[in-house]
Amino acid sequence: MRVLQLDSGREMRGGQWQVLRLHRGLLERGVESMLLAREGGELLRRAAGEGLPCGPLGAAGMLGRYDLFHAHDARTHTMAAVWFRRPLVVSRRVAFPVKRGWLSRWKYRQPDLFLAVSDFVARELSLAGVEDERMDTVYDGVPVPAHVAAGDKVVIPRTSDPAKGMAVALAGVQLAGMEPLVGDDLEVVLQAAKAMVYLSQSEGLGSGILLAMAAGVPVVASDVGGIPEMITSGINGMLVKNTPEAVCEGLRRVYPGMGVNGRNTVLARFTEAHMVDATLASYRRVLGA
């Protein structure tokens, strides 16, 4: 099987991490996966640094013979829909509704299969007219560290997006009388964590939450989008409203066993291997059809 992966993201956000993990995992399983990403972008730099097959987005790099194309964002979805006449798989990671204009309707008719990052996202696709037989839910997958975190800070992911609620999270942590730690590289800063606060107004799933759960860190997260598909409130994390008071109350209800339960949840459903295997099964379904 020869698969061309397409992603145009500038930064290394959750979606780009999933592309890198998928690309690496497919190669390990003997799939001839090739990644084309934005020139000068972090995803291309990291893939090249690992020695993985990759190149910049552009027509010259797309002339090879592939059995299937996998577009991972809206821009490459459009590119593939316009340029190619062969099996197309598109990942849909965002929670907001699909646009209803004629161009969007045409674009969403082209893929052979959508991979929704959660059942919540799959329902949004269904509302936009995508048939059930053209959808699979494939959850994010994250690495599971050998050791659980053993810190004393409350980690908050750094973001410039006001919809992600960093200011509200900070206020809630301070209201609880705890010490916040705002960080960029979650896999590093989580080692100093006793809890994490992850707020958002809209979320397809939230792979940062899974990173914390994998490290045994209890998460206080917004009760929106696909997040409740990972967290059962009071068992393996806390689901709250996006207010400082709710965050404060959620942090006060966290107990160590939540971290153990969260890690077990990831091991059961959300590892890199789960994500790669589910994606590969979807590829085979498309090619078999």
CATH number for the domain harbouring residue 109 = 3.40.50.2000
What pLDDT is recorded for position 134?
Answer: 96
DSSP state of 212: H
Q: Are residues 9 and 137 in the same domain?
A: yes
159 falls within a domain: yes
**Which residues, in sequence order, are CB contacts of 198 under 8 Å at separation 6+?**
156, 157, 169, 206, 208, 209, 212, 219, 220, 221, 222, 227
Is the same domain home to 158 and 129? no
Supply the pLDDT for residue 17: 96
* 196 is a domain residue: yes
Residues 61, 99 share a domain: yes
Q: Are residues 110 and 37 in the same domain?
A: yes
- Cα separation, 262 vs 70, in Å, equals 30
126 and 10 in a common domain: yes
The pLDDT value recorded for residue 179 is 92
Residue 147 inside a domain? The answer is no
Of all residues in the chain, the percent with pLDDT exceeding 70 is 97
Phi, psi (5° rounding) for residue 55?
-170, 170
Average pLDDT for residues 75-99, to the nearest whole number?
89
In a domain, 146, yes or no: no
Q: Give me the pLDDT at residue 121, please.
A: 97
CA distances, 71 to each of 39, 78, 244 (Å): 16, 9, 38
pLDDT for residue 261: 98
The reply to whether 171 and 126 lie within a common domain is no
Cα 137 off chain centre by = 12
Half-sphere exposure of 145 (CA within 13 A, CB side): 17
Are 15 and 127 members of one domain?
Answer: yes
Give the whole-number percent of the chain exceeding pLDDT 90. Answer: 84
- Indicate whether 171 and 194 sit together in one domain: yes
d(CA 35, CA 20): 9
Q: What's the mean pLDDT in 218-238?
A: 98
Poorest-pLDDT segment among 74-83, 202-211, 218-227, 260-269:
74-83
**Where do we find the tokens 């552009």?**
58
State which H helix or E strand residue 8 sits in: none
Per-residue pLDDT of 164-179, as tens digits, reads: 899 999 999 999 999 9
Give the tens place of pLDDT for each residue, 17-48: 999 999 999 999 999 999 999 999 999 999 99
| 276 and 264 inside one domain | no
Greatest CA separation for the chain: 59
Q: Tell me how far CA of residue 176 lies from CA of 46, 148, 195, 246, 249, in angstroms.
A: 38, 24, 12, 10, 8
Among 19-28, 83-92, 139-148, 267-276, the least confident range: 83-92
Range of the domain at 122: 2-141+271-288
Shared-domain flag, residues 261 and 183: yes
Same domain, 220 and 122: no
Q: For residue 33, what pLDDT is reported?
A: 96
**Interval 203-218: pLDDT, tens:** 999 999 999 999 999 9
Q: Compute and round to an integer the Cα radius of gyration of the chain.
A: 19
| Shared domain check, 225 and 203 | yes
Contact 4, 32 (CB under 8 A): no
Q: How far is the C-alpha of 7 from the C-alpha of 85, rounded, in Å?
A: 19
pLDDT in tens, 107-125: 999 999 999 999 999 999 9
Has residue 3 got a pLDDT over 90? yes
The answer, yes or no, to whether residue 60 has pLDDT greater than 60, is: no
Beta pairing partners, 55: 36
